[in-house]
Structure 1
């Protein structure tokens, strides 16, 4: 199993997080809080109350940890693709078949959830904390509950147990397995379509294909992403949802089917630059390592 894909995935994931975390914070707040009328309202209110730093809440943890999940995603995908196709590494002169790409992506999406579920849970809860932590804050003050990622993890373990760290993990699995397969498939198809036979895609092609892959993937993932985020915020004070179907049913009954599109615009805006940078840096790092 090659390690270069994991290292390239780690570095490219960290670069992508730096680009996209502010809009990701906006997306999470739109999905889980009803105080905002839309993206601009969320941005304005966040900036007025928390300054520019409010958009980077919970980022220190993902830069290290989500970079690892990106490393797993790309590493598992690349190695699974090599295994399925029986080649030593991906060759643009002999590109893999589309169904092989999709299967490798689905495998990657399913396996990496075991690591990403607790990481994503902590990130979402920190992003929803609109007040700074205060020692004198009451235990039921949800807006000032956590000092940081480690304190958040310890608090969840104490109050909800180890299963609390995996709250929403089934929804995360249902989100990631098909959409990561679609994510890699979109990138590979666009690269082949925009490049002459046998040639390596140029940087602009990689940027465009990566950006489109991110947008398509997140558009498909958004409905389950909303449910995942709500399940992750559930249980802080009381449990509202008995599971995925109950969460979907109650969310639609209270807010209509449009609730499944919450954060879609923010997700799409964030996805293009983040994944353009991620794919380009990943491909170039692999070239360097090889």
Structure 2
């Protein structure tokens, strides 16, 4: 599940100082104009076609292999257990492609997030023994990356190849159940919306089933998505989280249980048209190639 988050949702999940989504949107617009909402989107947009092709292709081929192994016929319809296994394997595979893309997007979106800096001010001449006063102020973080390619290059130089997979563990926790709750509800809704068991679903039914499945998947994946976003944004200036569990505990202690549902409503709304379009395109493409 490559996240198509705009800058506001990423910063709401991984940033600081935003009271809610509206406050986050207004802050970004005031400080960075409308372009602030599109920071870091060029890389995901350029790769999303390849990513979705790989995901849906892997899912279809996995179903075929399971059917061939279990029933001796690759065209045999998969049962729910078969679909669950295929969905989980698809989620696991997707992390290998999606983790670096999400990381670059989040680093580019977060590099203008204000950070809390410790500003030392001398209340007099230090040599005369006067006290030094420590004051915290918000200062803009420097722009570390000039673009996606420079971001990838910088991460490889400073953190190595493993740096591109920062937060991959949290992404597995998001995508393995996330894709299960993506393909299974889609199949169930398609079956419910078919006029009979032998007929193919109507394009409108495919569109509706895909949209509902997308909303369900993204809402349930939001807590893991919050953790993933924070882990990936963490290494920007100074590492804050030692691991997934530490990130969860620290986030809960400092911001409460609500932090894990930041952006859930946006995910539900955005997930519907995005997933509806993808599933409809996928099914129509399959029908076209099978008719050749």
Equivalent residue, structure 2, for 1:147: 146
- What's 1:33 paired with? 15
Deviation at 1:256, TM superposition (A): 0.8
Contact 2:112 2:140 in 1 (8 A): no
Does residue 52 of structure 2 align to residue 53 of structure 1? no
Using structure 1 for the length normalisation, give the TM-score.
0.83
Aligned ranges for residues 81-120 of structure 1 at < 5 Å?
81-86=63-68, 87-89=73-75, 95-120=77-102
Partner of 1:136 in structure 2? none
Deviations 1:225-260 (A, max 9, x none): 111111101122221111111110100000111111
Contact 1:39 1:266 in 2 (8 A): no
Q: Distance in 2 between matches of 1:95 and 1:190?
A: 16
Per-residue deviation at 1:274?
A: 0.8
Q: Does 1:229 align with 2:235?
A: no
Superposition pairs of residues 1-290 of structure 1, within 5 angstroms: 21=4, 24-86=6-68, 87-89=73-75, 95-130=77-112, 142-196=141-195, 197-290=197-290
CA distance in 2, matches of 1:177, 1:251: 22
Q: Tell which deviates more after alignment, 199-208 or 183-192.
A: 199-208
Counterpart-to-counterpart distance in 1, 2:207 and 2:174:
24
Contact 1:118/1:166 (8 A) holds in 2: yes
Ranges in structure 2 where 5+ consecutive residues have no aligned partner:
114-138
Q: Please, which runs of 5 or more residues in structure 1 have no aligned partner?
A: 1-12, 132-139
Q: Report the counterpart of residue 121 of structure 2 in structure 1.
A: none
Larger Rg: 2
CA shift at 1:143, angstroms? 5.0
- After superposition, the C-alpha distances for 1:89-112 in whole angstroms (9 at most, x for unaligned) are 5xxxx7431221111010111122
Structure-2 change in CA distance of 1:209 and 1:24 (3 Å): farther
**Deviations 1:197-219 (CA, angstroms, capped at 9, x unpaired):** 21111121111111111111112
CA distance in 2, matches of 1:143, 1:214: 36
Counterpart of 1:144 in 2: which secondary structure?
Answer: coil
RMSD: 2.1
The structure showing larger relative contact order (alpha-carbon pairs under 8 Å, at least 6 residues apart) is: 1
Once residues 88 and 273 of structure 2 are traced to their aligned partners in structure 1, the CA distance between those partners, rounded to angstroms, is: 23
Moved more, 50-59 or 101-110: 50-59
- Higher-helix-fraction structure: 1
2:123 maps to which residue?
none
Rounded to whole Å, the distance in 1 between the matches of 2:98 and 2:86 is 18
Instruction: Please give the alpha-carbon distance, in whole angstroms, between the structure 1 residues aligned to 2:6 and 2:214.
Output: 13
Normalised to the residue count of structure 2, the TM-score between the two structures is 0.82
